[in-house]
Structure 1
Amino acid sequence: MGTNLYSALGESSEYVQATQNVPGQLTPVMVISPEDGVGLRLLNNVAMGEKTGLPIYGKFVDTDGNPLPINTTVAIGYKSPTDKNINVVSEEFQTIQSYLKKSITQQQDTDNIDSVKHVLGSSSLEVRDIDEAYLLVKSTKQVDPAACEFYLEQSAVEEVDIE
């Protein structure tokens, strides 16, 4: 059983913090930051669907209560202490059409899960207690963390001891 990472409707799991994006820039809407002595491994492959990638289920809502525009970009980012900026470590979704057309329950369905898989640049992303990983969004609108829902597929997240 994997680790549950989410930010939903103003609540978040352990190691996760919801943030507001800066409109027009690829910026975080979710920050993943393990505590001291804990590391997380985000897997690029799960035993669901046919394609490779890290499934992220989401509902993208702006501060007016409306869905974000279809041309919103979504990516996964990473930053270690030696990095000056956040590095994009996944392919960028140039549209959120799959997120807009399907409920979170529908996104989790085996027949639909491939449409919400984010392909990482390697087989996994290791996030140590000194690193941060991010769900990044570029949109003309600002997200409302109290109305948005973001979930990483639990079977794609492993907690590892780094001490």
Structure 2
Amino acid sequence: MMLTAITGLISTGINAWSERSKQKANLKSMEISAQARLKVAKLESQIKRAEAGDTAAINLDQLSFEHRGWKDEYLLIFTTAPVLILFLAPLIELALLKDIYLAGDLTTAVMAGFTALQQTPDWYLVALLLVYVDTFGFRRLLRGVVESQLGKLVGNKK
């Protein structure tokens, strides 16, 4: 009788421990499942926002193309001229001094343009980029670049 009572207590304790282990495993499984569903929902939300943003950018580009005028072309030429001059000036000098042309001078002239481009102020390059984005309708591309840069900035502040 005493042995039956002790066996019953041990059996009850083992069953309770086993039940708690099952409940913990179920809770862990439910937590993992909830986390997976949350990740899927976040990804779906990002995809929907990206698709909506791309559609809006495409619509904005199409609307912008319909209302193009001479001002846009003038702005493009005006902002692009300095870059062209950076590369053309050394080539023109080389052409004017062709009687003393040496092998490799053409490469040196082209590289002078790239060297000058490296010394160009950042504000000018940003302005040139914005004019190209607006003129040629690269808003969708620019949107991805801006989002990645913002992501880096936000990520670094944490």
Task: Provide TM-score, normalisation by structure 1.
Answer: 0.20
- The structure showing larger relative contact order (alpha-carbon pairs under 8 Å, at least 6 residues apart) is 1
Q: Could you say which structure has the higher strand fraction?
A: 1
Task: Provide TM-score, normalisation by structure 2.
Answer: 0.20
Structure of greater Rg: 2
